[in-house]
A and B are shown apart, each in its own frame.
Chain A
Amino acid sequence: MEDTIVAVSTAMGLGAISIIRLSGPEAIKIVNKIFRGKDLTKVASHTINYGHIVDGDEIVDEVLVSIMLAPKTYTTEDVVEINTHGGIAATNKVLELCLINGARLATKGEFTKRAFLAGRIDLTQAEAVQDIITSSTDKSLSLFVNQLTGSLKKLIIKLRKDIVGILANIEVNIDYPEYEDAPVVTIASLKQALIPIKEELENLVKESKNAKIIKDGINIAIIGRPNVGKSSLLNKLLEEEKAIVTDIAGTTRDLVEGSVIFKGIKLNFIDTAGIRDSDDIVESIGIKKSIDSVDKSNLTILVLNSNEQLNKDDFKLLDMIKNKTHIVFINKNDLPLKINTENLQDFNVCYGNTISDDGINSLKDKISDLFALEAIKPIDNIYLTNSRQNSLIKLAIKEIDHALDSLNKEVPVDLVEIDIKNAWNYLGELIGATYKDELIDELFSNFCLGK
């Protein structure tokens, strides 16, 4: 018998509610122990129950508990979901109580793994399990199991049709070498056919990145050693753009300090060890916290004081961001420049200050350039919603690249076809197409062959 696992299953996004999910034979029993309300062992399956999570006599949070009995659940086991709304502290407390009462913390992707082993999801999806397991923590299951949007599916089907047309053309040249009906596939004609397909796929990846930016905004970490003006920069940015969300630190489990809308895109400023206080914090702690926040961000802004020479800590921070998307903001440019800029040659630098509106425009322009915000169209239906889709598209692009490369080396077309077929298969996997004699059908519908 499997043990019972538990995890916080909501993404580390902006939502106020978080869900703690349990799966396994003991799931209901465990939650019942810490729940004040109805007796959960007696409620009907697929019901939502109101009550409180308690730690002894102390109320931890007001919650809604969903009870789903085996086998009609994601994992086919008994599944309980606790919807809390008390922020990170309460969430962590509920999780802890579940653990104390006999649940085991789930490993990454374990719910999905169970779903797969129970035959609940198929092999194609299961391949993505590995993706989930190895990818970052905040991938929620909903991202992974979600269905393809209609327009994406249509696009992929169209691209596959284009590719199968190319394949059929190559095949017909092979199987009927003496028939003139089929246009001869040359290196040049093949390249010409492949490049637009590659471009569409690349666009899709790019658009999807944009779609994610539109949906979730850009997470920005502001780091720097004490007294360089991080908090005044943050305040300026938030105040400048009329902050729409300003969560009070400690009351929410996500780390967003505040968000602003800039050119239609949400910029989320990630709490950097409490930027507001950090100017007083012990340096070593500051750096450790910085590492965390840099990992969680899409963009890191390192603030330096124009008027001070770079010290050991600055170099550490510079080293930390050099392979990340970053901006080095040289603050206080109203004061004389004492930084040796030769050290900043490989960095994306901008100068400014926080005392005037103009002072941070340079920074805002830089952000805009970096993410090409002007070019992002706010409505775009076609995008990839999960890492499985993303990686399959990238694999398909890689195969086409290999094909183009081989064509440049004058590898015979029928060998290059192996790459093209692989690309076709990857796209097929994306839309869950089973293997059919599509190719053979295409061959005979498009060409006039026979004896």
Chain B
Amino acid sequence: MNYDVIVVGGGHAGCEAAYISAYKNHKTALITMNIKNIADMPCNPSIGGTAKGIIVREIDALGGIMGQIADQSHFQIKMLNTSKGPAVQALRAQADKIVYPKKMLAKLKSMENLDIIEAMVNDLIIENHVIKGVVLEDGTKCFCKSLILTTGTYLKANILYGDQKEVSGPHGERSSLYLSDSLKKAGFKLQRLKTGTPQRIEASSIDFSKMQEELGDNKYWTFSHDYPASYDITKQQKCYLLYTTAETKKIIEENLSKSSMYGGYVEGIGPRYCPSIEDKIVRFHDKPRHQLFLEPESLYYNDWYLQGFSTSMPHDIQEKMVHSLPGLENAKINKYAYAIEYDAIDPLQVNPTLESKIITNLYTAGQINGTSGYEEAAAQGLIAGINACLKIEKKKPLILKRSDAYIGVLIDDLVTKGTNEPYRMLTSRAEYRLILRHDNADLRLRRIGYEVGTISKEQYDKLLAKEKDIANLTTFLKENKFKIDSTIKEIFVQNDKLLPKVAMSYYELLKRPEINIEFINKLIKLNYSLEVQEEVEIQIKYEGYIAKTYKEVDKMLKLEAKKIPEDLDYDKVKNLATEARQKLKLVRPLSIGQASRISGVNPADISILAIYLKKEYNND
């Protein structure tokens, strides 16, 4: 069988990669061990969240599908951080674990150029460091121009609880035993990572009256830029907040040595942002209680996800721990918490295009690259998919900058700094986050999407119209003043706003802290969509800080513009510190800017490098 693009793995990265490749009219195969697990959500039942919600918007802006599928599958959605500035607001949806994969599979099945193959991949066909295809478990060979590996946590996966260790993928799926050996043989450096998931509790055994309700927003939201909201706001499901007790703490402390982690049974490095409950108890010993959330996984079965209670304790201890929680005294555990460890590659061996540095035309995306999270995986899958296609089309690859998107930050961090724990996107990782907002994802990325052929003409025209509206409204607000007459005075008084002493433009008025665009509409009706108005409001209100951010971006871009030739021999650059030389040889940064972000490369090394380039390549 011959394909343009083969994607191995049907998780969130694989779905985006396969979809976008098929969308771009390349003959594509998605090979998965189990069709039932396409777009599976093995951990938390939500999509989005701080920073991650913005990634989903970015995926959508670039033509990916996670956003629209999430919009169709959730039973609760809310905007986080609404009390804070516009830069940090992000959507989070409680996605139904049955509906989301179903809708995703339907979407993929609707793609003409996409074959979904149910099989285990056992080996890679590599000739002269170029990928040619894969060998399936039954010996079948599939050939391709580009291969995208999105194998998630399945590579040599072990499930751990207490002193038990099972060779198994997430919820009892098979572990992929041979693929990581092929990777190792091909020259990939593998690392062992660990993550965990908490218990699932039977709904009917929970006493919700002892917990605090957590509701969705009373407002319509979508991740998608193209489709309106299709859910019923009144039918959103509740989540619940509860706390650990002194009893919980005591049980954990007394049984610490039985946990896989503390008993020394885990080799993988776990993420700091996703610690197990025993980790939290040990590290934050003084805290009397810890927050937990109960979230329904689906409307079609009865498991509730106990967020915050991830553990690798043996099952009998888990029973005691869960029963120590208020409202869960009689809880029935449908699934026990477990830790999972798996092989991942070292992302320093990956190019910013997500193509391997070792094997040409081989791309990797998602947890195999050392990340954690559905959204991070989907984002990489999309970029790997786009770049695999662009290479076949003999076009320039897509590399998003740190100032373009969270996705740019994500990939740059991975391929420049590497990671030794599962990498999760955080708002704090994005230094230019004021310009990487939920609201402007389309303004940032749709044009790029159009250029790389993942955004349609119709979508692009919609963007142009929006940009025009924004410019027009801004000009209008700048060029028009309001008059202070009795009517206007009355509006100010009624709304409890301070009346300015002199007339000023609406633009100046809007800059005042107590004035928002809604109030401007009371003075003069603005005939623009709410979306455009909100965008203009943010741009005007935070103009100073936005300008400040762009100034920093300019500094960064200047360094990014100083390109480093791909064939640079670092051994010829005199006076580099040994550590810096090793790191530079390993990462092979594309620019001085990227080089300056490598840990262990000091400013002195950077200037030596810059001067060397200037001398040898006349590179300014």
A residues adjacent to B (C-beta < 8 A): 116-119, 121-124, 126, 167, 171, 173-181, 409-415, 418, 421-422, 432, 434-437, 439-440, 443-444, 448-451
Residues of B near A409 (CB, < 8 A) are: 513
Could you tell me the distance in whole angstroms from the C-beta of B324 to the nearest C-beta in chain A? Answer: 18
Given contacts A418-B549, A436-B599, contact A451 B81 (CB under 8 A): no
Contact A171 B603, beta carbon cutoff 8 Å = no
Q: 20 more A-B contacts (CB under 8 A) besides A119-B604, A414-B81, A444-B272?
A: A117-B611, A121-B604, A122-B607, A123-B606, A171-B427, A175-B50, A175-B426, A177-B50, A414-B87, A418-B549, A421-B431, A422-B548, A435-B596, A435-B597, A437-B599, A443-B426, A448-B280, A450-B274, A450-B279, A451-B198
Contact of B290 among A173, A414, A435, A448 (CB under 8 A): A448
B602 adjacent to chain A (CB < 8 Å) = yes
Could you tell me the distance in whole angstroms from the C-beta of B593 to the nearest C-beta in chain A? Answer: 12
Given contacts A175-B428, A177-B80, A444-B272, contact A119 B87 (CB under 8 A): no
Whole-angstrom CA separation of A122 from B290 in the bound complex:
47
Q: Which residue of chain B lies nearest to A429 when distances are taken between CB atoms in the complex?
A: B603
Contact of A451 among B44, B86, B417 (CB under 8 A): B44
B residues adjacent to A (C-beta < 8 A): 43-44, 50-51, 80-81, 84-88, 198, 214, 272-276, 279-280, 283-284, 287, 290-291, 293, 307-308, 310, 417, 426-429, 431, 434, 513, 542, 545, 548-549, 575, 596-597, 599, 601-604, 606-608, 610-612
Residues of B near A179 (CB, < 8 A) are: 291
Contact B607 A450, beta carbon cutoff 8 Å = no
Whole-angstrom CA separation of A10 from B291 in the bound complex:
65
Residues of B near A421 (CB, < 8 A) are: 431
Contact A434 B603, beta carbon cutoff 8 Å = yes
Q: Which residue of chain B lies nearest to A440 when distances are taken between CB atoms in the complex?
A: B428
Contact B50 A174, beta carbon cutoff 8 Å = yes
Contact B50 A418, beta carbon cutoff 8 Å = no
Q: Which residue of chain A lies nearest to B46 when distances are taken between CB atoms in the complex?
A: A451
Contact A449 B549, beta carbon cutoff 8 Å = no
Given contacts A171-B428, A414-B84, A415-B545, contact A124 B603 (CB under 8 A): yes
Residues of A near B575 (CB, < 8 A) are: 119
Contact A118 B310, beta carbon cutoff 8 Å = no
Contact A443 B606, beta carbon cutoff 8 Å = no
Contact A444 B607, beta carbon cutoff 8 Å = no
Residues of A near B43 (CB, < 8 A) are: 451
Most buried by A among B88, B417, B548: B88
Contact B307 A451, beta carbon cutoff 8 Å = yes
Which 3 A-B pairs rank lowest in CB-CB distance, beginning with the nearest?
A412-B85, A122-B604, A171-B428
Contact A434 B428, beta carbon cutoff 8 Å = no
Residues of A near B608 (CB, < 8 A) are: 119
Given contacts A118-B611, A175-B50, A435-B597, contact A123 B84 (CB under 8 A): no
Could you tell me the distance in whole angstroms from the C-beta of B618 to the nearest C-beta in chain A? Answer: 14
Q: Which residue of chain B lies nearest to A410 when distances are taken between CB atoms in the complex?
A: B513
Residues of B near A410 (CB, < 8 A) are: 513
Given contacts A122-B607, A434-B602, contact A180 B85 (CB under 8 A): no
Contact A119 B198, beta carbon cutoff 8 Å = no
Residues of B near A422 (CB, < 8 A) are: 548
Residues of B near A126 (CB, < 8 A) are: 607
Could you tell me the distance in whole angstroms from the C-beta of B155 to the nearest C-beta in chain A? Answer: 23
Residues of A near B287 (CB, < 8 A) are: 181, 448
Residues of A near B279 (CB, < 8 A) are: 450
Contact B607 A123, beta carbon cutoff 8 Å = yes
Residues of A near B602 (CB, < 8 A) are: 122, 434
Could you tell me the distance in whole angstroms from the C-beta of B600 to the nearest C-beta in chain A? Answer: 8
Residues of B near A435 (CB, < 8 A) are: 596-597
Whole-angstrom CA separation of A278 from B611 in the bound complex:
54
Whole-angstrom CA separation of A121 from B605 in the bound complex:
10
Residues of B near A444 (CB, < 8 A) are: 272-273
Whole-angstrom CA separation of A449 from B310 in the bound complex:
12
Contact B611 A450, beta carbon cutoff 8 Å = no
Q: Which residue of chain B lies nearest to A409 when distances are taken between CB atoms in the complex?
A: B513
- Could you list 21 examples of A-B contacts with CB < 8 Å? A121-B604, A121-B607, A123-B607, A123-B610, A171-B428, A173-B84, A180-B291, A409-B513, A413-B84, A414-B84, A414-B87, A415-B85, A415-B545, A418-B545, A434-B602, A435-B597, A436-B599, A440-B426, A440-B429, A448-B290, A450-B308
Residues of A near B291 (CB, < 8 A) are: 178-181
Whole-angstrom CA separation of A41 from B408 in the bound complex:
57
Contact B428 A174, beta carbon cutoff 8 Å = yes
Contact A411 B513, beta carbon cutoff 8 Å = yes
Residues of B near A117 (CB, < 8 A) are: 611
Could you tell me the distance in whole angstroms from the C-beta of A118 to the nearest C-beta in chain B? Answer: 7
Contact A174 B603, beta carbon cutoff 8 Å = no
Could you tell me the distance in whole angstroms from the C-beta of A450 to the nearest C-beta in chain B? Answer: 4
Contact A413 B85, beta carbon cutoff 8 Å = yes
Whole-angstrom CA separation of A177 from B91 in the bound complex:
12
Whole-angstrom CA separation of A418 from B542 in the bound complex:
12
Whole-angstrom CA separation of A435 from B606 in the bound complex:
13
Residues of A near B293 (CB, < 8 A) are: 178
Residues of B near A171 (CB, < 8 A) are: 426-428
Whole-angstrom CA separation of A450 from B49 in the bound complex:
13
Residues of A near B276 (CB, < 8 A) are: 450
Could you tell me the distance in whole angstroms from the C-beta of B540 to the nearest C-beta in chain A? Answer: 13
Contact B428 A415, beta carbon cutoff 8 Å = no
Whole-angstrom CA separation of A450 from B195 in the bound complex:
12
Most buried by B among A116, A126, A418, A440: A418
Q: Which residue of chain A lies nearest to B609 when distances are taken between CB atoms in the complex?
A: A119
Contact of A414 among B88, B310, B513, B603 (CB under 8 A): B88
Could you tell me the distance in whole angstroms from the C-beta of A374 to the nearest C-beta in chain B? Answer: 42
Contact A448 B81, beta carbon cutoff 8 Å = no
Whole-angstrom CA separation of A324 from B142 in the bound complex:
83
Contact A415 B607, beta carbon cutoff 8 Å = no
Q: Which residue of chain A lies nearest to B44 when distances are taken between CB atoms in the complex?
A: A451
Could you tell me the distance in whole angstroms from the C-beta of B152 to the nearest C-beta in chain A? Answer: 18
Contact B81 A177, beta carbon cutoff 8 Å = yes
Contact of B283 among A437, A439, A448 (CB under 8 A): A448
Given contacts A414-B88, A415-B542, A418-B549, contact A451 B603 (CB under 8 A): no
Residues of B near A436 (CB, < 8 A) are: 599
Q: Which residue of chain B lies nearest to A167 when distances are taken between CB atoms in the complex?
A: B428
Whole-angstrom CA separation of A436 from B429 in the bound complex:
11
Whole-angstrom CA separation of A249 from B426 in the bound complex:
68
Given contacts A415-B434, A434-B602, A440-B426, contact A451 B50 (CB under 8 A): no
Could you tell me the distance in whole angstroms from the C-beta of A258 to the nearest C-beta in chain B? Answer: 45
Residues of A near B80 (CB, < 8 A) are: 177-178
Contact of A116 among B275, B417, B607 (CB under 8 A): B607
Whole-angstrom CA separation of A313 from B603 in the bound complex:
54
Whole-angstrom CA separation of A123 from B608 in the bound complex:
9
Whole-angstrom CA separation of A178 from B599 in the bound complex:
32
Given contacts A175-B50, A443-B428, contact A432 B603 (CB under 8 A): yes
Residues of B near A178 (CB, < 8 A) are: 80, 214, 291, 293
Given contacts A450-B275, A451-B308, contact A418 B607 (CB under 8 A): no
Residues of A near B50 (CB, < 8 A) are: 174-177
Could you tell me the distance in whole angstroms from the C-beta of A396 to the nearest C-beta in chain B? Answer: 15
Given contacts A122-B607, A123-B607, contact A451 B274 (CB under 8 A): yes
Residues of A near B603 (CB, < 8 A) are: 122-124, 432, 434
Contact A439 B85, beta carbon cutoff 8 Å = no
Whole-angstrom CA separation of A123 from B275 in the bound complex:
39
Residues of B near A174 (CB, < 8 A) are: 50, 81, 84, 88, 427-428
Whole-angstrom CA separation of A415 from B85 in the bound complex:
7
Q: Which residue of chain A lies nearest to B52 when distances are taken between CB atoms in the complex?
A: A175
Whole-angstrom CA separation of A421 from B549 in the bound complex:
11
Contact of B427 among A118, A175, A418, A451 (CB under 8 A): A175
Could you tell me the distance in whole angstroms from the C-beta of A446 to the nearest C-beta in chain B? Answer: 10
Residues of A near B275 (CB, < 8 A) are: 448-450
Q: Which residue of chain B lies nearest to A119 when distances are taken between CB atoms in the complex?
A: B608
Given contacts A413-B84, A415-B87, A439-B428, contact A175 B198 (CB under 8 A): no
Contact of B273 among A119, A122, A124, A450 (CB under 8 A): A450
